[in-house]
Amino acid sequence: MARRRGFTLVEVLVVMSLLGVLMGLSIGLIANAQTGNKLLVATNSLASQIASARAQSFGSNTAYVLVRTTPEGKTSFRNYRDTQVLAWPAEDFAKASENVIRRAGGVEISTDTDIEGRYAIFQGGTVELGDPPWLDFLDGFTIQCRLRPDARAGPLFAKGDVLAVNLMQGSGGRLGLSAKIRLQKDERGQGEGFCDLRTGAREADTVPEWAAPLLPGRWHDVRIAYDRNTFTIHVDGRLRAIRSDRRNRMVLNDASFVIGGGYGGGFDSLVISGIFESDDNRFDCPDVIRHMTPKGEVAAGDLLIHFRNRSLDPQYHPAPVRVLLEMDQGAGKPGIGRVVLVSLSGESFVRRPEEVR
């Protein structure tokens, strides 16, 4: 009968030692892979948000990505986009219920159907939109409409505390536009006050004829926009006034949006858009990941990556944008970095830091 032979104690200990070494190596490799995956997920999230904002900025729309770094060094990404909340031909004034639209005073719908179709005629009356929640935009807005003013000047729009748009008397029988918004303190407690904008020189009491772009009795396309930093007035597709304030944000209270109240003339095709944070595009980086400056310091404050017409907005970005994310490996190990590079055309690429220096 053959003799059975087992393992000696020495053999068992040797095998267990080898298994321990292999398990230790495996755990280290898995931990490194998981750590690397965190950086990969963060950079891919940022690149994805940039691609989404670029797609949303087609035409005249505004979209931007906010890279925010808190004083504690925590980094997050937010995506903001221009979303249309109201598109309203004036003939619908007559159809809407009183809980949506309230008319007061001299406002009627024209009976003629010329090339513009039917339109509202204001004779000092008002149309009030009440307090719909979609007008509570805090990161920017766009108001577009068609106007055929008469020779009188007067208030055009008003909402909250404060968004006010007025017609004002220019020279040569023309009319200008004046717009005003209230600004709140930024995250650092700076700023606050009002931002005034009007066609023509900012400080002049009278508006020169070339800068008063509205002719009474003629239809004009008017667009007034604020996108967190920049306040603009366009008339018939031409930029007529601009003012930038990169430190402050607009704030409006929960008050009604009123059209008219002194305006006289035709009014049509109102479109209101607001810039809102997209809940589908939010990402908070793990604590081991930091937004860094090229000098190797934790970036302070906010970085806004602006897009217009699927490209970086040249008003904000004269050169490509580089966002460096670095991951802390701990235990005295050097950080691992990745750069999200945004070209002037709006395309984004993920690179190693040494590849973009």
Classify residue 27: in a domain, yes or no: no
Same domain, 194 and 328: no
d(CA 283, CA 300): 18
Using the 3D structure, point to which of 263, 278, 293 is the last residue of a domain: 278
Same domain, 67 and 107: no
Peptide bond into 165 cis (omega under 30): no
Same domain, 116 and 228: yes
Torsion angle (degrees, nearest 10) of CA 269, 275, 280, 283? 170
Classify residue 117: in a domain, yes or no: yes
Classify residue 110: in a domain, yes or no: yes
CATH code assigned at 177: 2.60.120.200
Classify residue 19: in a domain, yes or no: no
Same domain, 149 and 178: yes
Using the 3D structure, point to which of 261, 278, 295 is the last residue of a domain: 278
pLDDT digit string, tens, across residues 176-206: 898 988 877 655 555 567 888 888 654 445 5
* Residue 179: domain span: 80-278
Strand-pairing partners, residue 242, are 232
The pLDDT profile of the chain, 357 residues, written as one tens digit per residue, is: 555 566 676 665 666 776 766 665 554 444 444 445 888 889 999 998 999 889 888 776 778 898 988 888 889 998 888 888 888 887 776 666 555 677 778 888 887 766 567 888 888 888 888 767 777 776 788 899 999 999 888 899 988 778 899 998 876 778 889 898 887 765 555 556 788 888 865 444 555 555 678 989 899 999 998 877 788 898 998 888 888 766 666 767 667 888 988 899 999 988 888 888 776 678 899 888 999 888 888 888 788 898 888 899 887 888 999 999 998 877 777 788 899 999 999 999 998 888 776
Same domain, 194 and 310: no
Residues with Cβ within 8 Å of 243's Cβ and at least 6 positions away in sequence, in order, are 195, 196, 197, 202, 230, 231, 232
Decide: 228 and 275 in contact? Cβ < 8 Å.
Answer: yes
Q: How many CB atoms lie within 10 A of CB 256?
A: 15
CA 44 from centroid of its chain's CA atoms? 21
Total of domains in the chain? 2
Same domain, 173 and 290: no
Using the 3D structure, point to which of 209, 243, 278 is the last residue of a domain: 278
Same domain, 172 and 239: yes
Decide: 258 and 156 in contact? Cβ < 8 Å.
Answer: no
Same domain, 105 and 231: yes
Torsion angle (degrees, nearest 10) of CA 117, 120, 122, 125? 180
Same domain, 157 and 171: yes
Same domain, 46 and 176: no
